[in-house]
Amino acid sequence: MDNRNFNQRNGSGEKSKAKTFWVNVGLVVLALGLSILTVLVINLNR
Amino acid sequence: MDLVKRVSEIWQSFVNDPSMTVAITVSILVFATLYFFMIRFLVDNKAEAMVVLFSLVMVIGAAILTFAKNINTAIYLIIPTVFLVAIMVLYSVELKRIILARKSVKPGDVKHGISYDEERVQTCVTEIIRALQNMSKNDVGAIIVLSTGNVPNQIIDSGVRLDCDISSELIESVFFPKTPLHDGAMIISGTKIVSAGCFLPLSQNVDNIPKDLGTRHRAGIGVTETIDVISIIVSEETGIISIARAGKITRYADSEALRKTLTRYYWQELDINKK
């Protein structure tokens, strides 16, 4: 009986992890940029 | 320029005044955390366009408020607030999944404190496997969810409560074609069939599920994405038995795989005491 897990793709696991890592890095940079912008704008004319 | 002067003043107070340093740093971290989870949620739900829109509106809003006079720039916070409310309204179902998944009981967390007769458990395992194999042989579609009492009442009450002992005859009768409860899922908790004919949330993960799997399999996978349960699915078209756990499906489960899964369910996940 074949009990393969269909979610496993040979050789693509590492590429997917690297892609996820860089996406997360990009999101962190974007979030930080927007938060710095927010704090700057709020403090500009209080 | 006023803007340059004002930014310079803010920078000076950040550097020279410790209280401002702390306040600004904490503010940046709090906003960054909020924005990260918002943007991450949108990206996970394939809404990259909303991320772009949000970023554009934030930048344009900042530009407008920078040159506006006599306006308290704290109103800038309206932009992320509006987006947050929009996300909560548009993605209420997805947010509910996340909350339900967090509230699910993990294996070993709950001590049921119930003692089961080892013979009774073995009987349950045998009855479930016999029912699954009979249904597989006759191409009868079925979904059985093995829970540790952590399935929300909303799902249990969507079907018909049975609260009865497990037997292969009863399981096969429930899923027999054209009976009133055959089209939903059966929820088993311990040695009891809790309910049948229940509606389960469909899997939203379209990338990792084979295209030849239908709605029954997607429901079986979907419930395991949000709640820590095991679902066993019998295909109506092919009779293939599959086991789904944590959003992943293993097809072509034989009697050995079923016995292993059920034994693990009863003796490890339920954390029951042997009589």
Q: What distance in Å separates residue B251's CA from the closest CA in chain A?
A: 6
By residue range, what is the domain housing residue B7? 2-90
| Closest CB to B249 among A6, A28, A37 | A6
In percent, how much of chain A has pLDDT > 90? 33
CA-wise closest residue to B128 among B270, B202, B231:
B231
* Residue B112 confidence (pLDDT): 46
Binning pLDDT at 50, 70 and 90, where does residue A9 land?
Answer: very low
- Give the count of domains, chain B: 2
Query: What's the CA dihedral at A29, A30, A35, A41 to 10 degrees?
Result: 120
**Partners of residue B252 in chain A, C-beta under 8 Å:** 1-4
* Closest CA–CA distance from residue A16 to any residue of chain B (Å): 13
Q: Is the ipTM of this complex over 0.95?
A: no
Q: Do residues B76 and B128 both lie within one domain?
A: no
Between positions 227 and 256 of B, the ones with CB within 8 A of A are 248-254
For residue B97, tell me if it sits in a domain.
no
User: What confidence category does residue A5 fall into, taking pLDDT thresholds of 50, 70 and 90?
Assistant: very low
Q: Distance (Å, rounded) from C-alpha B213 to C-alpha B273?
A: 38
Q: Decide if pLDDT at B47 tops 90.
A: no
- Banded pLDDT at B235 (limits 50, 70, 90): very high
Claim to verify: residue B82 and residue B126 sit in the same structural domain = no
Q: Among the listed ranges A6-20, A28-42, B19-33, B59-73, which one has the minimum average pLDDT value?
A: A6-20
Would the pLDDT of B176 be above 90? yes
- Section A13-27 average pLDDT: 82
In a domain, B105, yes or no: no
Give yes or no: residues B68 and B125 share one domain. Answer: no
Residue B100 banded pLDDT, cuts 50, 70, 90: low
Helix, strand and coil content of chain B, in percent to the nearest 5, comes to 55, 15, 30
Q: Work out the average pLDDT over A17-42.
A: 90
Quick check: is B265 in a domain?
yes
The answer to whether the Cβ–Cβ distance between B257 and A1 falls below 8 Å is yes
Residue B94 scores a pLDDT above 70 = yes
| pLDDT in the model for residue A3 | 37
Average of pLDDT values for A25-33?
94
Which domain CATH number covers B149? 3.40.1700.10
Whether A1 shows a pLDDT value over 50: the answer reads no
User: Is B111 domain-assigned?
Assistant: no
Residues in chain B closer than 8 A to A32 (CB atoms): 28, 32
Residue ranges of the alpha helices (H) in chain A?
13-44
pLDDT at B113: 46
Q: Identify the CA nearest to B216 among candidates B185, B246, B188.
A: B185
* Residue B190, in any domain of the structure: yes
- Amino acid letter, residue B60: I
Residues B9-29 have a mean pLDDT of 89
Band of residue B55 on the pLDDT scale cut at 50, 70, 90 = very high
pLDDT in tens, B102-153: 444 444 444 444 556 778 888 999 999 999 999 999 999 999 999 988 888 8
Q: Do both B129 and B247 map to the same domain?
A: yes
Average pLDDT of the residues in B245-263: 89
Residues 6 or more apart whose CB falls under 8 angstroms from that of B110 comprise B148, B149, B150, B271
Going by pLDDT thresholds of 50, 70 and 90, the confidence category of residue B25 is very high
Angle between helices B78-90 and B18-44 (to 10 degrees): 30
Task: Determine phi and psi for B114, rounding to 5 degrees.
Answer: -105, 140
- A20 CB near a chain B CB, below 8 Å? no
Residue B205 backbone phi and psi in degrees, to 5: -90, 90
Sign of the C-alpha dihedral computed for residues B241, B106, B248 and B41 taken in this order: positive
Q: Are residues B166 and B41 in the same domain?
A: no
Report, as an integer, the average pLDDT of B194-220. Answer: 84
CA distance B79 to B275: 61
Same domain, B83 and B135: no
Which DSSP letter does residue B106 get? Answer: P
Q: In this structure, is residue B67 part of a structural domain?
A: yes
Q: Are residues B129 and B74 part of one domain?
A: no
- B47, B70, B90 - which closes a domain: B90
| B39 interfacial to chain A (CB closer than 8 Å) | yes
Judging contacts by C-beta atoms under 8 Å, the chain B residues touching residue A30 are 35, 39, 51, 55
Answer yes or no: is B107 within a domain. Answer: no
User: Domain end: B75, B90, B105, which one?
Assistant: B90
- All residues of chain B having their beta carbon less than 8 Å from the beta carbon of residue A45 are 6, 65, 68, 71-73
DSSP state of B183: T
Least confident of A2-6, B103-107, B198-202: A2-6
Same domain for B149 and B245, yes or no, is yes
Q: Among residues of chain B, what percentage have pLDDT more than 70?
A: 89
Q: How far, rounded to the nearest angstrom, does the alpha carbon of residue B114 sit from its chain's CA centroid? A: 27
Tell me which chain B residues have a C-beta less than 8 angstroms from the C-beta of A31.
32-33, 35-36, 39
Alpha carbon of B252 to those of B73, B136, B145, B179: distances in Å? 61, 11, 17, 26
Q: How confident is the model at residue B186 (pLDDT cuts 50, 70, 90)?
A: very high
| Per-residue pLDDT, B269 | 67
